[in-house]
Amino acid sequence: MIDKEFLEILACPACKGEVRLDEPDERIVCQACGRRYPVRDGIPVMLIDEAEGK
Amino acid sequence: MRSRWQLSQKSIKRAYAAVSPVYDLVFDRIFSPGRVEAIKLMGIGPDDRILDVGIGTGLNLPLYPRHRQLVGIDISGKMLRKAHERIRELNASYVRLAVMDAMQMGFQDNSFDHVLATYVISVVPDPIQVLQEIRRVCRPKGHIIIVNHFKSEHPIMGRIEGLMAPLITRTGLFKPDLQLTPLLEEVGLVPDQIHRVNLFSGWRLIQCSNSKETTPDRAPPKGGTHVR
């Protein structure tokens, strides 16, 4: 489950920027560099290779 | 300097795909004493945040005290799906999981009070980078606990292991000849405690306090975030 507490400690693995959850798209979005990370089976996939954008 | 500590990502993936059917059996039985000791030694407080690096299928999960802010990461989504099943069986929905590369973690600085890496350091392409990332995400004076195989400091055993190391490394499973002292020195970690664990020689449990400059502005807010 991705709740507020979890999002607070998550960061973009590339630039370490803060992230937010884009709920309709089920993506974790970096607010600094804009990379978008997928969420699969409720588990965030915070791998630079799997990110969209940038 | 670094190359002698490196394994290729490709050989690691291939080796673990080959052993995955028996992985839990072997790793649960033979390597459980190290896991049990490590988690006991952490002295986890009720509001502490814990990171388990390379949680895999979640073999460590039943060993933690319940209802803690526990986060597990692994590079293998497939292993994490098994961990997810285990979380459901244990009724431990407060545990969070994420697919991450331990060499480039997706966490803010100083996010955790304890960081545990059981049997991880010698199965990553670059152990130094992993230890540096562990130091980054662990808060100042937080606990860093590593359970791993290291090259024997006994002169004869050390030489025998040195001769066998290329063979074991070639299997891609792990590098058996990591040298504890130079590795820790390289990343500026000073062990508070070193224990021998498990059945065979060379397995060590290392506990360090994360001595580093404080950067409080990056630390996420704590307290009142405890999830039960």
What ipTM goes with this model? 0.96
Q: Does B222 touch chain A (CB under 8 A)?
A: no
Nearest residue in chain A measured CA to CA from B224: A5
* pTM exceeding 0.90: no
- In single-letter form, the type of residue at position B153 comes to E
Q: Which CATH number fits domain B9-209: 3.40.50.150, 3.20.20.70, 2.20.25.160, 3.30.1370.100?
A: 3.40.50.150
Query: What's residue B219's pLDDT?
Result: 47
Q: Where are the beta strands (DSSP E) in chain A?
A: 19-22, 27-30, 36-40, 43-46
- Mind telling me how many Å the CA of B52 is from chain A's nearest CA? 14
**Model confidence over A2-35: pLDDT tens digits?**
889 999 999 999 999 999 999 888 999 999 999 9
Helix B180-187 / helix B127-137 crossing angle, nearest 10 deg: 50
The DSSP secondary-structure symbol of B15 reads: H
Radius of gyration of chain A (CA): 10
| Domain boundaries defined on chain B | 9-209
Per-residue pLDDT band for B203 (boundaries 50, 70, 90) equals: confident
List the 112-151 stretch of B: residues with Cβ below 8 A of A.
112
The DSSP secondary-structure symbol of B119 reads: S
